[in-house]
Amino acid sequence: MRRAVASPIPRPTSRPRRARLHELARAGWNDFAWSKASVVANDRRARAGEAELRAIGVEIGAAARAAYATPGQFLQIRTREDGKAAFIAIASAPGECAFGEGAVELLVKAQSGATAGEICALDVGAEVEVSPVMGKGFDLTAVRGRSKAVLFATGSGISPIRALLRSGTLKTDAGATTLYYGTRDAEATAFLEESASWPCDVVRVYSEDSGKHVQDVLREDIASGKIDANDTFAVLCGQKEMADEVIEMLTSAGLPREACVMNF
C-alpha cells in the first residue's frame, strides 16, 4: 500500500599534492588518510525548488568499498585538496555494484556555494578526494526481537534509509515496515518510482500542499492506534527538528529510547 499526504513545506601547504594525500588529516572525530576517487555517474534524481538532487557514483576502489558494511555509514568528500569536505551518507546498499565493483552511490543536493554543489557540477571522469567509509551506520543490535519497524526520512535523508531497505538486513514481519518519507512534492522526491518496490508501506508526506510534515502524520497515526509500542522500533534520518519531534512522540507512546535508531 502507498499512502500520500500533501504538506507545506585545511589550509594548503607547500607540500606536493601526491605526498599530502598520504598524510593523516584530522576530521574532528577521527584521523584518516585522504584517497583519490573518480566520478563514474552523475544523474538527476529529483528537484527541490532551485536545487537538484543528483545520484553521484564514486569509484573508491574495491578495498575501500569493502569497509562499507552497515547501511547508514558515510564518506567525507571534497573536490580539491584545499576544499571543505562534505559528509554524505551512502545511498547504495553494502555489496551493491550499480556503478562498478569499487563504486558507491551518493545522493547529493546541489546547494549553491557549498561543496555539495561543486560535487553535483562535476563531469563523469572528474577526480575527487574521499575519506575511508566512516560511522557506525544503523546499529540494530538493540532492537533485535522487535518485529515491526517505522522508518523516517526527509529530503536527501532518504539515502541511508534506501540503503537499509535494499540491504536485506532489516528483519521484520511481512507487511510490518512503514516508511514516512517527507519531501516538498512529488518532483522533489528522490527514488519515487523505485520506492514502489521497496519492502515497506510508503507514507509520502508532501509539504507543499497540505501544511503537514512527517511528524504531523505520525501524531495522527499514534492517536489512531497504528503504532504498536510493544513490538516496534524506529530508524530515522533527516532534519534534526523532525528527528527530535518523532523520537519524543514515539517515546511518549511507549517506545524505549534505545528502540529509536539513528546513524550518528
pLDDT score at 3: 64
The full set of domains in the chain, from first to last, is 2-6+137-261 (3.40.50.80), 17-130 (2.40.30.10)
pLDDT score at 98: 82
CA proximity to 119, closest of 64, 54, 61, 46: 54
pLDDT score at 5: 59
Q: Which residues of the chain have pLDDT under 70?
A: 1-30
pLDDT score at 97: 79
pLDDT score at 214: 96
pLDDT score at 255: 97
List pLDDT tens digits, range 95-146: 997 898 899 999 999 988 999 999 999 999 999 999 999 999 999 999 999 9
Range 140-144, long-range pairs (CB < 8 A, 24+ positions): 140/169, 140/170, 140/233, 140/235, 140/261, 142/258, 142/259, 142/261, 143/233, 143/258, 143/259, 143/261, 144/171
pLDDT score at 15: 36
